[in-house]
Amino acid sequence: MTRRLTIAIPSKGRLREPTWSLLEASGLSPQEPGERVLMAQCRNADVDILFVRADDVPEYVQDGVVDCGVTGLDLVAEKGCDVEVLLRLGFGLCSLQAAVPNEDVATSLDDLDGKRIATAHPHLAATALRERGIKAELVTVTGSAEITPRLGLADAIIDLVSSGSTLRTNGLRTIGTLFEAEAVLIGRNDGAGTEAARTLTTVLGSVVNARANRYLLCNVPTDAVDAVTELLPTKGSPSVMPLATPGTVALHALVPAKEIWQLLPKLEALGATSILTLPVERMVP
């Protein structure tokens, strides 16, 4: 009998929905859990899903309670757990930033020297400051670090930021980034369960890769093929196919989704017509 793979995913919070949607898009068909259900099975894969807090995932994986887990890279670093990052998942993007009140004179991370800094990420913050040779006093809070300067508890804060709107709302401005994070798939570091974990990495990775790309189709004058090929931010070479109309070819290529908006006007300028971009479901490079 095949051993079932167990994966711990966040039961609530901002990583819950995107993790669930990734598992569904990967074709694992997890059974929708009812309220307070702690475990679910996938319908068409030998995978069991355990719902736990995102903070607990690194330890569950490290201690071998589960084979793999989805959590934030910041939480892996904060817990100091001995696990392997198998895959970056492309959501839950945020960064650990240092911020000071708008009226403060500080302009860079070096200005944190000798300051009192409130943070809910003491381990990550201490490591990042030590790496930069900055000596500061950390005040650990469990949340809402952004109000501490106004309360006179700290001169600055170190907190996770995605849009920056919480900082702005609280009259704070960033003076530098200490760590970049996103949701990650992690596995055990002792090699146990490796094969199943690698399979999961390939399956989830095919969707993560696909989401970051678009399939581009366009018709290009034959004499512009070289210029268009040079322009395309793709790794491999595009497919070029003859059309019934002489002097024009069809060109297909995979392009990074985030570059499409810059690419389209340039393609038009080179004479490309009938430009289409399509979502990609899976991609294994």
- Residue 117 CB, nearest approach to ligand AMP (Å): 17
Our finding on whether 162 is near ligand AMP (CB under 6 A) is yes
Give the footprint of ligand AMP on residues 223-282 (CB under 6 A): none
Query: How far is it, in rounded angstroms, from Cα 70 to Cα 8?
Result: 6
- Residue 268 CB, nearest approach to ligand AMP (Å): 36
Which listed range, 13-21, 150-158, 169-177, 250-258, lies at the site for ligand AMP (CB under 6 A)?
Answer: 13-21
Out of 30, 58, 92, 193, which residue is the one contacting ligand AMP (CB under 6 A)?
A: 92
Q: Considering Cα of 96, then 102, then 106, then 112, what sign does the dihedral take?
A: negative
Q: How many CA atoms lie within 13 A of 246 on its CB side?
A: 0
CB nearer to ligand AMP: pick between 58 and 205: 58
Residues 6+ apart with CB under 8 A from 86: 68, 184, 185, 186, 187, 197, 198, 200, 201
Size of the site for ligand AMP (CB under 6 A): 14
Our finding on whether 58 is near ligand AMP (CB under 6 A) is no
Our finding on whether 181 is near ligand AMP (CB under 6 A) is yes
Contact between residue 148 and residue 155 where contact means Cβ atoms under 8 Å apart: no
Query: How far is it, in rounded angstroms, from Cα 76 to Cα 2?
Result: 29
- Residue 36 CB, nearest approach to ligand AMP (Å): 17
Q: What's the Cα-to-Cα distance from 127 to each of 9, 31, 73, 185, rounded to whole Å? A: 26, 40, 14, 23
Out of 87, 161, 185, 186, which residue is the one contacting ligand AMP (CB under 6 A)?
A: 161
Interface residue list for ligand AMP (CB under 6 A): 10, 13-15, 54, 72, 74-75, 92, 94, 160-162, 181
